[in-house]
Chain A
Amino acid sequence: MPRQLDVRFEQVLGERANLEVYCSAHPFEHLRPLLKKRGIMPWAVIKQMKSGSWVRFSGLLILVHTPPVRSGRRIMFVTLEDETGLIDLVVFPSAQIKGARLLFLSEVVTGAGILKREGYEGVSAIIVAKQFSQELSGPLDKVFKAYEKKGLSA
């Protein structure tokens, strides 16, 4: 990882520790080169892909919502954010078995699933999450270190 990138990410981590907001940049702006090496594209790219594509995603966790649904099953609606926008996930009970705990406790969530696009020109895009990465989810600094370690050799 270039030294300059390291410094800028340190600044974001400093903001995370000292402020309630990010002023200089979204943390993922600096993480992106490492994410790309792992095949994780930004949301702006993912949402242009074909409906039904298998995609890898990563973002800061904003909210987890479990509204009552018609079937009575618990379906989790999760919103993440990367540097290009909000990522909406739907997590069905089968994926919750391994992912639910991680979703409730993580700052960064990384995983993979199937992209569903609906509406005119597929404006409504949502990822049906199937898998979550334990290693690349968790507190931002821990995830950064994991990327740093793996990213160089990826």
Chain B
Amino acid sequence: MEEFVHLDVQSAYSFLWGTFTPEQMVDEALKKGFKAIGLSDTWSLQGVVRFYKIARRAGIQPVIGARVEVEGGCWLLLVVLTRHGYANLCKLVSMGLQKKKGSKALLPVSLLMRFSEGLSAIFLPHCSAVLEEQDGFMQAVTQLHRLKKVFPGDFYIGAAPVALEKAKGLCKASGVPPVAVNSVAFLKREDYGLHKLLVEIQRRHHHRKARPLMCDSFYMASGVEMARLVPWPEALKNSAIIAEKAKKFLLPLGRLHPPCFRNREDADCILAKRSFERLAHRFEIASYAHIKQLDKELACIKSKGLSDFFILVDEVAEFARRKKIIFSPRGSAVGSLLVALLLNGPDPLAHDLLFERFMNEGRGDMPDVDIDFDSERRDEVLAWVLERFKGQAAMVSTVHHFKVRSAVRLAAKAMGYSEAQIKRLSACLPWSLRGIDLVTALSTLPELKNAPIKRHTRLVEYASRLSGLPFQASVHLGGVIVVPDQIEKWTPISTSNKGFPVAQLDKDDVEDLGLLKLDLLGLRMHTALRKAEEALWKQGKWDRRLAALPLDDRKTFHELSQGDSLGVFQLESPGQRQLLGKLRPKCFDDLVAEISLFRPGPVEGDLVRKYVERRAGRMDARPIHTSLANVLKETYGVIVFQEQVLKVVHLFAGFSYADADAFRRAMTKKRSPMEMQRLRAAFIKGALRNGHTLKEAERVFKQVSAFAAYGFCKAHAVAFSHIAYKSAYLKSHHAQAFYIGLLNSGGVGSYPAWVILNEARRKGIKIYPPHVNYSGVEYEPEGGGIRVPLQVIRGVGINNAYHIIHERVENGLYSSWEALFKRVRLSKDIKAKLIFAEALSGLPSTDEDRVYAKAA
């Protein structure tokens, strides 16, 4: 058995406190020769899955715990001993987070009693406020007696080097055994400064009353050092005993845990019935190919026990349909006919998509079904899902890390620089640097050549250390997990600002735990298109073709070919605009290629140039092998889509689609030479079996392996192309409504409102300035022009705009400046802003008003 194990370790997931990531912590533990190491973040299990995986991979036993504060000013470290203990810890942390008093979380002892099983508890005297009070020692002893009963046989007093005598006294008075701890918050003594800086960020940025640790002794001391610092063999040994007990607990990684709401056979029947009904509803006469495809997909889903999952997806879609919320599927799921039927997606057979890219027998992970909703109404869907599966569902969290610019700004603030200095020092610093550190950036990027920050070496040093560290947790854009049993058995739950339950698991943790995640995302373009259609309705110009859009509109494709795509979904970036001019799309499939090509993968793989040249007839468009002509015909012999990789490997080397998908995924991940050799051998063997020569097999393998990593998912591109086409159609036929839709959807795409309005003006649409008598709270059509809303006047804001408009709607137009100022209470500053912005132009004013305006 080990002599000593650090059980009390706070990583950077104790945000703005710990100075290291779980990776750095495990590395240091390995260097110091520890065979086990604990993680005990404060009120958090956020980093646990990551830490557990890294530690196991490194051959170190991970010990999981968390620090919580109990009523009476006592800090406890709770260590997980069993699966039940893990669920209890999740529950306790959740309760503490829910029962916040001000910003402080506290647990009553009565709660601890209910959820103490499977946990070992360590009282931390050096952190507990109870001992700072006048009769603190006696109070602490009383509390220790109570807690001893809560954790019979598994309760200890933490003996830290900084409070050894205190711990000895408490042990003697209460009869509770000691355990050596060092409350590690930094890995090396010299990192104490960084810890203090993090706490200072808490104080200055978040205005919290935090205190840094008292000295630099809270580092990861080696076993030998700990034996010297805590010369108490029993305490040292107890840490190892607790770690040994914790060995029983294993996180359930690597297995699927799909939700289960009904008997499996019943679920299979319900799903099959619903999907065939939908098939009959969608196609008057369903083709044999469709029936066969659906049958195949249902069989795959049944074999994986995922019918309940797809019923859940159907229920979500049904809710959205009932509430008239626009939605569409995205990602590889679009390749599934079942998903198309449940979510009104494009027909995968018509677009030659592959179900196997989405799901196949060989994949061990949960299928990813991502749905885009009208962003303004997405929360209604989230609220419904979280209520429908109450206690079983929660939002996924996401951890934000310090980026270079934020690291510099926050470090400078903590170091006492003024706002003006911070602005000057961070000018030209990018938000993030791709793969280079701050010091390298300062010496290589030309815009930083004479940057004043270079003279502030300590700031640069601290900012470099901060970059990449976890900064805070927030809510994922749309990820919702649904677990088979109670959510709090899997993760602590907190509540978001919107009142939604939020898990302390990020998307990678969810995948590692094999849990179901639905991405219910908000897509602003859906909102923009809805608002554009509403604007058309208002003017009685609604185009009937918008309901069932013809995909061959010449005007739409002509304008796209001219690069006239500002505001068009996915096609408006500078690169896409340039590519549109080169590709000149003429049909829907051209849009699919366009959207797929301008991606980091295809650009990096030089697919764009090859595709453009071949399409223009300037380069030979022969496929890599004649037998693959049909597969690669649509892309002029270039492998653009991931689905094509699967088909090539399937047809040429005889792999099943499941194996072909495994081949593709292996190619896209970091390939080891050994893995590459294995894949090559399997490919060539299969190709030879299919009657190809060795030379041909080697040539095709070389090409496929070169391109496999760069392809784009065609299913995803097809889904997005539909939205892109609709937005392009609206732009070419109803430009005014299109721009109004964009402007009223809160920043769609890459361009700010002023650029969109400038383009509208160039297209002959008149822009009317904000006016108290004519403007609304949104951009509105006015004749053939666009009336700008009141809140674009800097500083006026939505509330003042709303009051002015509400009063006008209730009691009529404003007849003069005086009338406005009498009827609506506005501050002097707002009045001045309205006057300067000419939002009162044309209204009579008194001499007094004019004098006031002049003075303002």
Contact = CB atoms under 8 A, between A and B. Distances in A.
B843 interface: no
A100 to B, nearest CB: 4
Contact of A88 (B578, B600, B604, B770): B578
B71 interface: no
Contacts of B582: 118-119, 123-124
Contacts of A77: 574-575
B173 interface: no
A81 B758 contact: yes
B833 A26 contact: no
A44 B211 CA distance: 61
Interface stretch (B185-193, B328-336, B786-794): B786-794
Contact of A22 (B445, B757, B836): B757
A124 B792 contact: no
Contact of A20 (B603, B606, B753, B761): B753
A124 B753 CA distance: 24
A113 B202 CA distance: 48
A62 interface: yes
B422 interface: no
A33 B582 CA distance: 33
A79 B574 contact: yes
Interface in B560-582: 561-563, 566, 573-575, 577-582
Contacts of B139: none
A120 B754 contact: no
A69 B752 CA distance: 26
30 contacts: A14-B838, A17-B836, A18-B836, A19-B788, A20-B752, A20-B754, A20-B792, A21-B754, A21-B767, A24-B769, A26-B758, A62-B755, A63-B750, A67-B603, A69-B604, A70-B606, A81-B755, A81-B758, A85-B759, A86-B577, A86-B755, A96-B446, A100-B445, A101-B447, A119-B581, A119-B582, A120-B581, A120-B584, A123-B582, A125-B581
A48 interface: no
A82 to B, nearest CB: 9
Given A18-B833, A83-B762, A120-B581, 19 more contacts: A18-B794, A18-B836, A19-B794, A20-B754, A24-B769, A63-B574, A65-B573, A67-B603, A70-B606, A79-B574, A85-B759, A88-B577, A97-B446, A104-B427, A118-B581, A118-B582, A119-B581, A124-B580, A124-B581
Contacts of A88: 574, 577-578
Contacts of B581: 118-120, 123-125
A123 B578 CA distance: 8
B852 interface: no
Interface string B746-766: 000011111101110110000
A154 interface: no
Given A19-B792, A22-B758, A100 B446 contact: yes
A68 interface: yes
A35 interface: no
Nearest to A74: B445
Contacts of A133: none
B792 A119 contact: no
Contacts of A70: 603-606
A23 interface: yes
Nearest to A123: B581
B633 to A, nearest CB: 22
Contact of A65 (B561, B574, B606, B753): B574
Contacts of B838: 14
Nearest to B786: A23
A97 B446 CA distance: 5
B215 interface: no
B296 to A, nearest CB: 38
A134 interface: no
A101 B428 contact: yes
A119 B561 CA distance: 10
B447 to A, nearest CB: 4
Q: Looking at B445, B574, B575, B578, which has the most chain A CB atoms within 10 Å of its CB?
A: B574
Interface of B: 427-428, 430, 434, 445-447, 449, 561-563, 566, 573-575, 577-584, 600, 603-606, 750-755, 757-759, 761-762, 767-770, 788, 792-794, 833, 836-838
Contacts of A5: none
Contacts of A104: 427-428, 447
A119 B584 contact: yes
Interface in A116-135: 118-120, 123-126
Contacts of A14: 836, 838
Contacts of B753: 20-21
A96 B583 CA distance: 29
A105 B581 CA distance: 30
Contacts of A66: 430
Contacts of B752: 20, 62
A84 interface: yes
A22 B767 CA distance: 9
B840 to A, nearest CB: 13
A21 B792 contact: yes
A81 B755 CA distance: 8
Interface in A73-95: 74, 77, 79, 81, 83-86, 88, 93
Contacts of A22: 754, 757-758, 767
Interface string A51-74: 000000000001101111110001
A126 to B, nearest CB: 6
Contacts of A15: 769, 837
Contacts of A100: 428, 445-447
Contacts of A103: 447
A69 to B, nearest CB: 7
Contacts of A79: 574
Q: Looking at A20, A79, A119, which has the most chain B CB atoms within 10 Å of its CB?
A: A119
B481 to A, nearest CB: 31
Contacts of B761: 25-26
A123 B754 CA distance: 25
Given A18-B833, A119-B584, A84 B762 contact: yes
Contacts of B434: 68
A125 B394 CA distance: 49
Nearest to A65: B574
B815 to A, nearest CB: 24
B758 A69 contact: no
B839 to A, nearest CB: 9
Contacts of A26: 758, 761
A25 B577 CA distance: 24
Interface string A4-17: 00000000001101
A11 to B, nearest CB: 9
A124 to B, nearest CB: 3
Nearest to B561: A123
Nearest to A102: B447
A91 to B, nearest CB: 10
A139 B762 CA distance: 23
Nearest to B434: A68
Nearest to A25: B761
A141 B446 CA distance: 26
A83 B758 CA distance: 8
Nearest to B792: A20
A23 B584 CA distance: 33
Contacts of B836: 14, 17-18
A93 B447 CA distance: 11
A123 B574 CA distance: 13
Nearest to A79: B574
